[in-house]
Amino acid sequence: MAKPKKKAVKKSAALEESLPEKSSLESTSSPTLINNRLEVSPYTSCPTAIHFGVEQRVYYVPQDLLQSLERIASPYSPFNLRRNIFLPDVNANTGHVLVHYLYTGTYQTLYNKDTLPREETNIEFKQAISTYVAAKDCHLDGLKELAKQRVKQLGTEMSISDVFKSVEEDFSKLCDESAWFQDYMYEKVKAMFEQDYTAFARTGLFDCTENVSLTKILAKFMVELYNDKIKRMINLQQEQSI
């Protein structure tokens, strides 16, 4: 009689091992996951072909996912309810970042095996700026914030001249909503000035860009920083003379 009992115990142990752990069962029913569930799957709707850039690289996105893309989903949009959408002002690499965000809600760029390690940071920075501009145009606030974070992260590894070169092409598109970026550039220029206030005379910063708006902003930063320094020097002299 002892042997059958032993088999029953073994069978029970096998069943117990096959069941999910308590923690995993609890995680599948967490409030966060429940709140994020959709009533209708977007993957059942017809795909729309989005052609990015002058080369018209095609990405396919279910129509329901495009409802978050205001530039296309708006009833006044010329793209509304079309099976083929053309966005020649958004390059193919930026198109990937945009489409990946629509699918996953995350930021991802494509890997270019031909990029040299020393060039990668500058290229990714420029890509983040292009993504920010595209996200702004499409009213994708989440992607816009991710791109902004990426700009600030990559910028810590770049010189101010490299930052100006990278943003030159898209700066005019940032002008109407660039307060955060101007603040960011000011802090970069200020850090350079505080480290060596003679650097402006030696580095040829104005030679790094031909963008008039960008040049004006750089000149404004330099005047403000020199004025602040002169005021501090005058105040210090007055205090010492008392």
Statement: residue 167 has pLDDT above 70: yes
Across the chain, the runs of DSSP E, i.e. the strands, are: 47-52, 57-62, 84-87
The widest CA-to-CA distance across the chain, in whole angstroms, is 106
Domain around 182? 176-242
The verdict on residue 234 lying in a domain is yes
Spatial contact of 162 and 122, defined as CB atoms under 8 Å apart: yes
pLDDT number for residue 176: 64
The verdict on residue 58 lying in a domain is no
The verdict on residue 155 lying in a domain is no
In the chain, the number of structural domains is 1
Tokens of 62: 């279910």
Question: pTM of this prediction?
Answer: 0.74
The verdict on residue 218 lying in a domain is yes
At 134-146, the pLDDT tens digits run 999 888 999 999 9
141 contacts: CB under 8 Å, gap ≥ 6: 135
Residue 55, classed as helix, strand or coil, is: coil
The verdict on residue 11 lying in a domain is no
At 187-208, the pLDDT tens digits run 988 888 888 877 776 666 777 7
The verdict on residue 113 lying in a domain is no
The verdict on residue 194 lying in a domain is yes
The verdict on residue 129 lying in a domain is no
